[in-house]
Amino acid sequence: MTSPLQPRSRPLAGIRVLDFSTLLPGPLATLILAEAGADVLKVERPEGGDDMRGFPPAFADAAGHNFALLNRGKRSLALDLKQPAAVERVRQLACEAHVLVEQFRPGVMARLGLGHDELSRLNPRLVYCSITGYGQAGPMAQVAGHDLNYLAETGLLMLAAGADGTPPVPPGLIADIGGGALPAVINILMALREAERTGRGRHLDVAMTDGLFAWSFWAQGEIAAGCGAPKPGSGLLAGGSPRYQVYPTSDGKFVAAAPLEQKFWQNFCAAIGLDRKLADDGGDPAATRAAVARIIAGRTAEHWRQAFAGRDVCCAVARTLDEAMCEPHFRDRGLFAAQIVGPRPVPALPVPLATCYRDAGDAKPFPRLGEHKSWAEEMSQT
């Protein structure tokens, strides 16, 4: 039985967010703010709006599923920022806003007359968040890029390289989310708290590449200790240890094994029947890794799921995404309870909010391009 979520709190109720961002980093950040109660007014160009509207698969009214997922519960205002009247309209809205989020290259908003210096004179409490790949200043500030480029520039991509030295294309947009959206939310919340205390906002320079270096803390520790950068396929967390590996099963599935600590490793070795000599993996980890691989490959994924059940082994059989979305544990936690209003209800994107801040089955629409003029209008529920 699915357990009900706690009564929802909306800690950001009354906070108004003026959102100029597109695609993923900024829209995910403002989605998190919106789900916590903020009123987000998305400013889009009249011709086509946010590029994400046109990305397949299609959802409704020429908007794609990805756009609907990232912009549930927001408003949309269509403005041509090359027109003086539109710029003046933004200035008026900025006087009412608590937060502004933009994702242009450094200097673009200032050239439009909408930079931090200009708007902070109109609204000193405004928290102005700029999300870019490389930051507002520095030799690479104007360089165009996407998630994969940011991973490559910060060394994170090569840490994922296999034994042959070839890095994979990551399945998740780590820079956009972990280096952009989440740091933006964290810093916006801190700046709002500061503005409450001091009456002054901040210009937040959120660079996705800056945010990525925290992800490589383990490898940075090895470098600082004089061990050098981990070689491809080596290191405790990058393929060199039998205690942190993905092992194929006999039926083409995979066991994700992470029994790092000795107590988990001992339980794991007992569960798979590994020879005691090989269980001491300090001398020849490659031999131990090969032996574990042979054992895991000799049985099905279901065999290992049952063998590991009820044991502290830090192991899991890898699920596909659609399998994970149907897993009772995640359903019971209400991750997919909220919905997006459209031609047919679809689950909303679960955002990283505690259950007390998460919608308990609410259905909200995504905004049609330009359907709103200000925060004062009620969101359409059809």
Tell me: cis bond preceding 106? Omega within 30 of 0 counts.
Answer: no
95 with 123: CB under 8 angstroms?
yes
Does 87 fall in a domain? yes
Q: Is residue 186 located within the same domain as residue 266?
A: no
Q: Is residue 123 located within the same domain as residue 157?
A: yes
Does 181 fall in a domain? yes
Task: Compute the distance between CA of residue 146 and CA of residue 355 in angstroms, rounded to an integer.
Answer: 32
Q: What element of type H or E holds 182?
A: helix 182-198
Q: Is residue 184 located within the same domain as residue 294?
A: no
Q: Does residue 134 sit in helix, strand or coil?
A: coil
Nearest to 353, CA basis, from 195, 182, 208, 180: 182
Query: Pairing state of beta strands 63-64 and 58-60?
Result: antiparallel
Q: Is residue 344 located within the same domain as residue 270?
A: no
The pLDDT of residue 116: 98
Does 343 fall in a domain? yes
Q: Is residue 338 located within the same domain as residue 309?
A: no
Q: Is residue 178 located within the same domain as residue 102?
A: yes
Residues ≥6 apart with Cβ < 8 Å to 241: 235, 260, 281, 285, 289
Question: 172-205: b or e for each residue (b if 16 or more CB lie within 10 Å)?
Answer: ebbbbbbbbbbbbbebbbebbeebeeeeebbbbb
Q: Is residue 344 located within the same domain as residue 306?
A: no
Q: Is residue 296 located within the same domain as residue 342?
A: no
Q: Mean pLDDT of residues grouped by 10 in the chain (382 residues)?
A: 56 96 97 96 95 86 86 96 96 97 97 97 98 97 96 94 88 96 98 97 98 94 88 81 96 97 96 94 92 97 96 96 93 88 85 84 88 74 38
Residues belonging to the active site: 146, 176
Q: Is residue 170 located within the same domain as residue 282?
A: no
Domains in the chain: how many in total? Answer: 2
The beta strands (E) that lie in 22-126 are given as 39-44, 58-60, 63-64, 75-78, 99-102
The pLDDT of residue 161: 87
168 with 159: CB under 8 angstroms?
no
Report DSSP state, residue 162. -
Task: Compute the distance between CA of residue 62 and CA of residue 110 in angstroms, rounded to an integer.
Answer: 32
Q: Is residue 284 located within the same domain as residue 156?
A: no
Q: Is residue 110 located within the same domain as residue 135?
A: yes
Domain containing residue 139: CATH number: 3.40.50.10540
Task: Compute the distance between CA of residue 161 and CA of residue 152 in angstroms, rounded to an integer.
Answer: 11
The pLDDT of residue 376: 73
The residue behind tokens 């094994």 is 257
Task: Compute the distance between CA of residue 2 and CA of residue 95 in angstroms, rounded to an integer.
Answer: 44
Does 219 fall in a domain? no
The pLDDT of residue 382: 34
81 with 87: CB under 8 angstroms?
yes
Q: Is residue 174 located within the same domain as residue 308?
A: no
Does 297 fall in a domain? yes
Q: Within the chain, how many helices (H) and strands (E) appear?
A: 17, 14
What's the 3-state SS for 259-309?
CCCHHHHHHHHHHHCCCHHHHCCCCCHHHHHHHHHHHHHCCCHHHHHHHHC
The residue behind tokens 């200035």 is 91
The beta strands (E) that lie in the chain are given as 16-19, 39-44, 58-60, 63-64, 75-78, 99-102, 127-132, 203-207, 245-248, 254-257, 315-317, 339-341, 346-347, 363-365
Query: Pairing state of beta strands 39-44 and 58-60?
Result: unpaired
Does 103 fall in a domain? yes
The residues pairing with 16 across neighbouring beta strands, listed in sequence order, are 39
The rounded Cα 300 to chain-centroid distance in angstroms is 33
The pLDDT of residue 323: 94
The pLDDT of residue 380: 46
Task: Compute the distance between CA of residue 190 and CA of residue 212 in angstroms, rounded to an integer.
Answer: 20
Does 322 fall in a domain? no
Q: What domain range includes position 154?
A: 16-214+334-365
The pLDDT of residue 92: 96
Does 22 fall in a domain? yes
The pLDDT of residue 283: 84
Other C-beta atoms closer than 10 Å to the C-beta of 1 total 5
